[in-house]
Chain A
Amino acid sequence: MIVASLVYGAGPVTPLEVLATLVGQGSSEAWFVVTELRLPRTLIGLTTGLALGIAGALLQAMTRNPLAEPGLLGVSAGAGFAVAVAILVGASTATLTTLIAQAGALAGCSLVIAATRVQGLGNDPVRLVLAGATLSGLLLALTSMLMLMDQRAADEIRFWITGSIAGKSLATFQATLPSLVIALALVVVVARPLAAMALGERAAVGLGHHPGRIRFLITITVALLVGAATALAGPLIFVGLVVPFIARAFAGPDIRNTLWLCLPIGPAVVLAADVVSRLIAAPAEMPLGVVTALIGAPVLLAIVRAGRMPSL
């Protein structure tokens, strides 16, 4: 998929030329297309897929809900709303955007966790999703209202809100790197306790883990990941649903295997969607978020339609 993402796209660059460019030979035009346009895009797609896939897997494991997905539950919408507010008041540097998106994601994620503690809701996967979708709708409406207030900000927000990894500079990517490293380190820390929690909270306590502390760490991790991904690509829906879904099919019940598999599958899904979005309407482009929705919604239908909800 990395290769495909580098090779395909608008602009007359043949696969051979791409290879030649990568090893240091090739025309200057091809060099520009590949290193200036496609390489950043591929890198950003890679990170976004990685972050969203892992965040989805973590959230699903913690809430024991195969439908818990950052995009559906309003975590991405929280990050998106925070960034929209930031753009409106005039902040636009990459570092700040990332931090703000992560703060928004943290708020959204905390809300979700709080909601799962509400009586009865934690046991009803589908009801939680509906509440999350409502929250997303509310935040989206508020974002649209902000966009109407300020035409200049609106253009900036609209470019970003449909979910696209085109035309993003490497500066944003660099800004998200530190938090991604922290988040991945946290994932390594929580993976083992999380696997224990799959046995039930009592069993986890018996094995010497602290469910409260783990929940707190996971909330932070998910917020860091989703915030970074949203700052990079806008609120992408359904990636966090599809990636763990595929990973679980291969990995079986152990969350650690699922997390490992998310590493290659997440980037593959996002890059594939991005290549499709470039090719399907060439020379124009379709927003990436639209493609992921078209891929992800049928998966959602399939999970809901399955006679027995796969329990986690």
Chain B
Amino acid sequence: MHRYPFTMPDQRTLVANLVLLVLAGAAVMTSLSMGTVQIAPAEVIRALTGTTDDPMAAFVINELRLGRVMAGLLSGAALALAGCLMQTLARNRLATPGIIGIDNAATAFAVASVVGTGIALAPSAMALAGAATATVLAFGLAGANGTRGYRFIVAGLGIGAIAGAVTQVMLSQVAIDDANAAYPWTVGSLNARTPESVQLLALGLAVGCLALMCLSRAVNSLQFSDPVAITLGIKLKRTRLLGLGLSVLMTGLAVSVCGPVGLVALLAPELARSLCRPGKVPLTASALAGAGFMVVADLLGRTLFSPLEIPVGIITAIVGSPYLLWILLRPSTRSLT
């Protein structure tokens, strides 16, 4: 059968990935050219390649917008990848980091480091610790009941509620300036990012993608029942642990950049799954879709009510919630989980 741990994508998946890549690229170009100052796409390209004569355009593109768009691109990809991975591991379509409370916990830990409760670790490290804690809690609490079905999800909902309340407690304890500084964290926004956290995210995403390329065959086999996966020669425990670790890594780093932006991790894999060939876990397509989705949502938030800026987390919630409701409420013809 397969001599190599990774598999070549089939034609349909390849086409889907290309389409999503083009869409994400278009989103990036639009996002770079639109804003308070409109800059023509041709000018954007000249500014990016450093051949423009217009110093203003060069400044706006390279100094102001590029960093933000890159942050959106990376965090969207990381969130979507983490979501897709966790859905596969838990064998539950609703088990995305946002829904089972991992985002909220990462935020709570990161806010703790921002408002300075005596913990001097950087937000990225704290967000990672928070994501890890919540993941252990969610899967630990699932215990013998397993991770399928809705109970697992509602247990995660409880974890998320506790973490959200803890965030509120910390915000209500500190001076108003500190609280305002930490506010974007609570809704999910690309405003609060620091360059270091974006660099860390890029690094983490690169590591994650490499690891997932090596793991892709094992991850694909996780869709089958345990005995089948074992028969296929997959080391289940190791794959699960690695997958969860990667998922935690990417969620934590993404949250340290953009806060708890909900539902990207649910919507992007859904879209990817409907485009790609069924039977495979569409990791690449999820990442591309998530990146594009995040950039578009941020673009909408920036331009819709300009000069007012709507945090990206609110946009994704308004777009994503009706879809999630539809999944939950439609008379089900097949099992969701």
Contacts and interface: CB of A to CB of B under 8 A. Distances in A.
Given A115-B329, A131-B329, A298-B158, A138 B169 contact: no
Contact of B308 (A118, A149, A281, A296): A149
Interface string B150-172: 11011101110110111011001
A118 B173 contact: no
Given A130-B328, A281-B172, A301-B141, A142 B318 contact: yes
A129 to B, nearest CB: 6
A296 to B, nearest CB: 8
* Size class of the A contact interface (CB-based, 8 Å): 35 or more
Contacts of B149: 126
Contact of A290 (B153, B172, B330, B331): B172
A126 B154 contact: yes
A284 B168 CA distance: 14
A286 B162 contact: no
B321 A137 contact: yes
A238 B187 CA distance: 21
A237 to B, nearest CB: 7
Interface string B81-105: 0000000000000100001000000
B158 A138 contact: no
B153 A130 contact: yes
B233 interface: no
B332 interface: yes
B305 interface: yes
Contacts of B165: 290-291, 293-294, 297
Contact of B318 (A133, A138, A300): A138
B174 to A, nearest CB: 10
A124 to B, nearest CB: 7
B314 interface: yes
B262 interface: yes
Contacts of A144: 187, 311, 314
B130 to A, nearest CB: 16
Given A126-B151, A298-B162, A305-B155, A134 B331 contact: no
B161 A130 contact: no
Contacts, number: 121
B151 A304 contact: yes
B92 to A, nearest CB: 12
A20 interface: no
B314 A145 contact: yes
Determine the interface band of chain B, counting residues with CB < 8 A from chain A. 35 or more
Contact of B325 (A67, A119, A134, A291): A134
B155 A301 contact: yes
Contacts of A312: none
Contacts of A126: 149-151, 153-154
Contacts of A149: 305, 308
A91 B165 CA distance: 29
Contact of A130 (B154, B172, B331): B154
Nearest to A115: B329
A131 B328 contact: yes
A120 B332 contact: yes
Contacts of A131: 325, 328-329
B322 interface: yes
A205 interface: no
B321 A141 contact: yes
Contacts of B209: none
B147 to A, nearest CB: 13
A121 interface: yes
Contact of B161 (A237, A287, A307): A237
B310 interface: yes
Contacts of A305: 141, 145, 151, 155
Contacts of A58: none
B317 interface: yes
A172 to B, nearest CB: 22
A10 interface: no
B317 A293 contact: no
Contacts of A296: 161
B18 interface: no
A261 B159 CA distance: 29
A162 interface: yes
Nearest to A296: B161
A135 interface: yes
Contacts of A307: 145
B83 to A, nearest CB: 16
B262 A304 contact: no
A162 B186 CA distance: 13
B161 A300 contact: yes
B328 A134 contact: yes
A127 interface: yes
A177 interface: no
A118 B331 contact: yes
A127 B321 contact: no
Give the residue among A118, A304, A305 with the most B Cβ atoms within 10 A. A304
Contacts of A287: 168, 172
Interface in B30-53: none
Contacts of B155: 301, 304-305
Contacts of A124: 150
A115 B94 CA distance: 19
B136 interface: no
30 contacts: A118-B330, A120-B331, A120-B332, A126-B154, A129-B157, A130-B150, A130-B153, A134-B321, A135-B325, A137-B317, A138-B318, A141-B313, A141-B317, A141-B318, A284-B173, A286-B168, A286-B172, A287-B168, A290-B172, A293-B161, A294-B162, A294-B166, A296-B161, A297-B159, A297-B165, A300-B158, A301-B155, A301-B159, A305-B141, A305-B155
Interface of A: 67, 115, 118-121, 124, 126-127, 129-131, 133-135, 137-138, 140-142, 144-145, 148-149, 162, 237-238, 281, 284-287, 289-291, 293-294, 296-298, 300-301, 304-305, 307
Pairs A-B, 4 closest by C-beta atoms: A138-B321, A126-B150, A141-B317, A293-B165
